Amino acid sequence: MWRMAKTVAIVAVVGLALAMIGRALIDDNNMAVQQKNIPRTLDSQAMDKLMAEDLALTTSMFLKQLSAQLQRWADEDLTDTEIQQKFKEEVNEHPHFNGFALMKDDQPDLIVGDMSVTNPTLLTHHHMSSEFSDPYENEGKMYMLMGEDLKNGDMIVGEIDLSFVKLFIRNTAAIADSNGNFFVSGDNPSIDWKTTEDLPESIKAVMVPELGWQIAVQSKQPDKEKLTYVKHQAVIKFKRTNSQAQWFNEHPELKVVHQNEPFYVVESETESTESLIKGLQREYDLSFAEPNYVFTQQGPTALSSVPNDEFFEPYQWNLEQIEMSDGWDLSGGDDVTIAILDTGVDPNHQDLGEKLLTGFNAFDDSSDHSDAHGHGTHVAGVAAALTNNVTGIAGVSWNSKILPVKVLNDNGEGSSYEVAKGIYWAVDNGADVINMSLGDYYHADVLQEAIRYAYDNDVVLIAASGNDNVEDPMYPAQYEEVLTVASVDETRNRSFFSNYGQHIDVAAPGSHIPSLFPNNQYTVMSGTSMAAPHVAGLAGLIRAMRPDLSNEQVYEVIRTTARDLGTEGHDSYYGHGEIDVAGALESLAN
């Protein structure tokens, strides 16, 4: 299965996010479903270090947001009663600040919200204009103080609720403070460390300089084999559209669990998956019958070419590397719709706003595209976050609309049927570009037919290559109708986890990529999942600039203008090279 680097914050993680596990396939000789393992070639220590670096960057971004908010409030005249009322409303609405205190001579003169601690002598860490305390516990929850000096010599102190951290670490992590003590963990962590002195020699901690917190990641080995299809189910397609009713009357033992003409998902309560598939493949009325494979995620108007988004200059190296600033002078992605097939997209994120169109949930056929996982929101932000709005990050395609299509559940998994269903829906609802940061190591007829449908309808299809450092092709990345994207780091070298092979078309930044996370958060993630939406965004810019170009012509522009890396010409690691946004758009302008 395909897994991206889960972006969490400030953690020592036990689960391997970019894990490699088995694949399922149909053996042509015995027509049975089998499991096959992909050779594991990833360096686990390198993977752990990569995640630790992501987490350190995420933490720095989190602190920068909090500090900026505190400074805005510190500049207000808090003696004004109207401003005090506004201040109280903002504190009550803020997701991270538990409360604030205006300090005079180290004593609270005004308290807003709930402050369990107001002692400014605890502020022992200094970074830029902010001061921080070590974490502390109150009534079972962890907090931290942050302070800012006022111009009149007073101080404003905020109490930060660190529940945000626990949200990211989920159930598999712990966090060490500046004293080396692990102070936050998930509900059931498999970690025996009490202090960083207990860490094995093989684990190298990464420091968060603002706080002195240490991040150590230890991954567990993945299961040797894991079932990669839904048990007791099959995806079928009829040869003739008028034969379904009679056929189902003749097979009362089968239950229809999903249907999306001409495809059906059927389920047997008694037969194993292997026996079910074997029997259905003998049925004359069916053009194919296959397992319901499990797929997982792969972790302007009058615009200035240098956006003012708060995280653009200090963190978004990835956009500068692909020459975004010069590209934005030529196209903003207007009147283009980019579909994000993923875990959904947060409908209320401040850095998406009106860019989000009404989406689709392939699991229940509703418009609920909410994202409890976070992967899809991150991918959407890379492709087309609101840009030049002061807040957060810049997206590649400034003005493109986002069409959210939820084909992966809250665990980051979905079946080949759901993915195919999402593709059909996206095409029929106006997608110009489809991004698929998902996949696995097997061909599925239902998926390939959906890909062909999209391609024949002139949709640009972008897919991630996979995160297992293997040459084995993934699907849908292997299909010739798809533009396949590998990952590079900030040195323009192949990311060590990035899959390779002759099917690679281009590369894009995929290591340590900042983007959006649900509930107005921002995180750093790594994976080919992050590389692919850079290319989807570029495709949006191209289609906005030249709507007359076919999808194949868009592919050709992206390939021929890429910056050649590695072996001269096309190669297995970089394809035609790293995308060059300015070069691609200038080639059209010229």
> How many Cβ atoms sit within 10 Å of the Cβ of residue 586?
16
**Catalytic, out of 342, 432, 445, 505:** 342
Contact by Cβ (8 Å): 9, 168: yes
Phi/psi at 475 (nearest 5 deg)? -120, 135
Residues β-bridged to residue 173: 13
Residue 563: CB partners within 8 Å, gap ≥ 6? 492, 577, 578, 579, 580, 583
**How is residue 131 written in tokens?**
């001061």
Instruction: DSSP letter for 304, please.
Output: -
Q: Is the peptide bond before 262 cis (omega within 30 degrees of 0)?
A: yes
User: Which amino acid is residue 61, in one-letter code?
Assistant: M
Alpha helices, DSSP H, located in 32-121: 44-74, 81-93
User: 342 catalytic, yes or no?
Assistant: yes
DSSP string of 271-302, one letter each residue: S-HHHHHHHHTT-TTEEEEEEEEEEEE----S
Closest by CA to 513, choosing from 58, 17, 12, 65, is 58
In this structure, the strands spanning 483-488 and 506-509 are parallel
Distance (Å, whole) CA 212 – CA 132: 10
Distance (Å, whole) CA 315 – CA 58: 10
Is residue 218 classed as helix, strand or coil in its secondary structure? Answer: coil
**How is residue 17 written in tokens?**
């996010």
**Catalytic, out of 375, 503, 512, 534:** 375
What distances in angstroms separate CA 275 from CA 27, 33, 112, 266, 379, one per listed residue?
13, 9, 65, 13, 38
**Catalytic, out of 334, 515, 529, 580:** 529
DSSP string of 258-277, one letter each residue: EEETTEEEEEESSS-HHHHH
Phi/psi at 455 (nearest 5 deg)? -65, -45
User: 529 catalytic, yes or no?
Assistant: yes
Contact by Cβ (8 Å): 550, 504: no
Contact by Cβ (8 Å): 584, 561: yes
> How many Cβ atoms sit within 10 Å of the Cβ of residue 335?
13
Classify burial at 575, counting beta carbons within 10 Å of its beta carbon; exposed 0-12, middle 13-18, buried 19 or more: buried
User: Which amino acid is residue 466, in one-letter code?
Assistant: G
Contact by Cβ (8 Å): 228, 222: no
Distance (Å, whole) CA 36 – CA 16: 20
Phi/psi at 390 (nearest 5 deg)? 70, -40
Residues β-bridged to residue 5: 526
Distance (Å, whole) CA 327 – CA 397: 10
Contact by Cβ (8 Å): 542, 486: no
The sign of the dihedral angle between the CA atoms of 489, 495, 498, 500 is: positive
| Active site positions, annotated | 342, 375, 529
